[in-house]
């Protein structure tokens, strides 16, 4: 079964064709990062206008790379939420038009479920994954930090979430404080790798809770940056300059703090709920320290997509659609009733 997946929830116009939920025939991602970089974050209206310009060429490219004509597709799928309303509208309206025009069914996909199913996509590094439920999922992205118990395909319970910033958002904001480029996660990882030492920064454990909070860490990092900048001014006379090695030590300390909390809470949740494995997803799952610490500290098997499949892409949406559609008979044409749900959750009763 060949499913086309459309993802436009944020700043990537992404379309892919995936066969049987795992074999990626094409995966085209057009990132708008250069458009937004000068603003230090995503500007929603700029994002939706760019999706409008990109979506038809990306659709054509996804089909031609896959080497199939549109009449060989079995279904279309699209992210309906969560995400930016204007961005979602472009993808969903395009998907409705295409499904009606081609006479194909259209599956509505929760973006967070897509991040989970990125783990089912073929990955050159690991063809032998053995998923045994229940699985503890950590979804850490620019918009979410969720701990979700997956008891079966399609069966989710939200166990913990961030009370303020998402992990990726904290990376992006701290990178900005350090004068680094957007998106901040890969930049912080790069700078941190240049230092053998790190500043000790706080961890917000929130008692026994499985929730997260990263805003205190952000403030502590800002205070450390100010302190070190003033210290440098006193010793060298240079104003408002944070020398590279101090910046790297702060970046390393920030990264260690955030990863320590993500790993510790995931392990705790997995143990409490007797999970048989831990699965990572979302842009922050591309972080090399998170990947290595999870593998080092977990007694359970760790599943993580290839780094390029951690960040937003259409293949993960098509994979999620395959597992959703497997339990239903995919037939008929689409209805016109699909709407966007910008604040859609996963694992909250009535919201899956
Ligand atoms: O999943 P994603 O592509 O989009 C959302 O659904 O939000 O995640 C983007 C986020 C950004 O905040 C970005 O800084 C972060 O993922 N990210 C990383 C890394 N690569 C991307 N964070 C830490 N380390 C990385 N290597
Ligand atoms: Zn995402």
Domains for the chain: give ranges and CATH numbers: 2-120+310-325 (3.30.420.40), 135-304 (3.30.420.40)
Residue 254 CB–ligand 1 contact under 6 Å: no
Whether the link from the prior residue into 111 is cis, omega within 30° of 0, is no
- Alpha-carbon distance 74 to 18, whole Å? 11
Closest C-alpha to 346, from 144, 211, 163:
144
Give the angle subtended at the CA of 41 by the CAs of 38 and 46, to the nearest 5°.
75
The per-residue pLDDT for range 186-196, each reduced to its tens digit, is 999 999 999 99
List CB contacts of 283: < 8 A, sequence separation 6 or more.
140, 141, 142, 168, 183, 185, 310, 311, 312
Residue 141 CB–ligand 1 contact under 6 Å: yes
Ligand nearest to the CA of 214: 1
Could you give the dihedral angle defined by the CA atoms of residues 256, 260, 262 and 264, in that order, rounded to the nearest 10 degrees?
Answer: 170
Residue 311 CB–ligand 1 contact under 6 Å: yes
Measured in angstroms, how far is the CA atom of residue 108 from the centroid of ligand 1? 23
Q: Which residue has the tokens 């559609």?
A: 325
Burial of 196 (0-12, 13-18, 19+ CB in 10 A): exposed
Residue nearest to atom 14 of ligand 1 (CA): 185
Residue 168 CB–ligand 1 contact under 6 Å: yes
* Cα 208 from chain centre: 26
Q: Which residue has the tokens 């992006």?
A: 172
The answer to whether the CB of 340 falls within 8 A of the CB of 80 is yes
Residue 184 CB–ligand 1 contact under 6 Å: yes
Task: Return the best residue to mutate from 311, 313, 343, 346 for the ligand 1 pocket (most ligand atoms within 8 A of CB).
Answer: 311
For the stretch 299-302, contacts whose Cβ atoms lie closer than 8 Å and that sit 24 or more positions apart, written own/partner, are 300/136, 300/270, 300/275, 300/276, 301/130, 301/276, 301/277, 302/277, 302/278
Low-confidence ranges of the chain (pLDDT < 70): 124-128, 327-336, 350-352
The answer to whether the CB of 17 falls within 8 A of the CB of 68 is yes
The per-residue pLDDT for range 99-131, each reduced to its tens digit, is 999 999 999 999 999 999 999 998 766 666 889
Closest C-alpha to 167, from 31, 32, 9, 290:
290
Copy the structure tokens of residue 71. Answer: 């009449």
Measured in angstroms, how far is the CA atom of residue 142 from the centroid of ligand 1? 5
Residue 13, phi then psi, degrees to nearest 5: -95, 115
């Amino acid at each position: 079964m060949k499913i086309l997946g459309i993802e436009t929830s944020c700043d990537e116009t992404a379309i892919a064709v995936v066969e049987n939920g795992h074999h990626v025939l094409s995966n085209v991602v057009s990132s708008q990062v250069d458009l937004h970089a000068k603003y230090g974050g995503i500007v929603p209206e700029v994002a939706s206008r760019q999706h409008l310009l990109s979506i038809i060429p990306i659709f054509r490219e996804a089909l031609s790379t896959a080497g199939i004509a549109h009449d060989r597709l079995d279904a279309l799928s699209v992210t309906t939420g969560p995400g930016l309303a204007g961005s979602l509208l472009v993808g969903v309206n395009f998907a409705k038009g295409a499904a009606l025009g081609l006479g194909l069914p259209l599956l509505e996909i929760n973006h967070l479920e897509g991040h989970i199913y990125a783990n089912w996509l073929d990955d050159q590094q690991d063809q032998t994954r053995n998923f045994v439920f229940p699985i503890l999922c950590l979804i850490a992205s620019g918009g979410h930090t969720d701990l979700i118990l997956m008891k079966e395909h399609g069966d989710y319970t939200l166990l913990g979430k961030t009370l303020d910033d998402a992990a990726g958002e904290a990376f992006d904001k701290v990178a900005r404080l350090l004068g680094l480029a957007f998106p901040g996660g890969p930049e912080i990882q790069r700078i941190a790798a240049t230092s053998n030492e790190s500043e000790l920064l706080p961890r917000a454990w929130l008692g026994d809770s499985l929730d997260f909070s990263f805003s205190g860490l952000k403030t502590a990092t800002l205070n450390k940056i100010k302190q070190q900048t003033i210290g440098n001014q006193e010793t060298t006379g240079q104003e408002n300059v944070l020398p590279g090695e101090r910046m790297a030590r702060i970046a390393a300390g920030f990264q260690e703090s955030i990863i320590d909390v993500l790993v510790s809470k995931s392990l705790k949740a997995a143990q409490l709920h007797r999970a048989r494995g831990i699965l990572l997803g979302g842009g922050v799952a591309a972080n090399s320290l998170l990947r290595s610490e999870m593998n080092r500290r977990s007694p359970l098997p760790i599943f993580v997509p290839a780094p390029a499949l951690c960040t937003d892409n259409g293949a993960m949406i098509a994979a999620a659609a395959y597992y959703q559609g497997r339990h239903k008979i995919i037939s008929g044409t689409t209805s016109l009733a699909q709407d966007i749900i910008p604040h859609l959750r996963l694992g909250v009763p009535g919201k899956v």
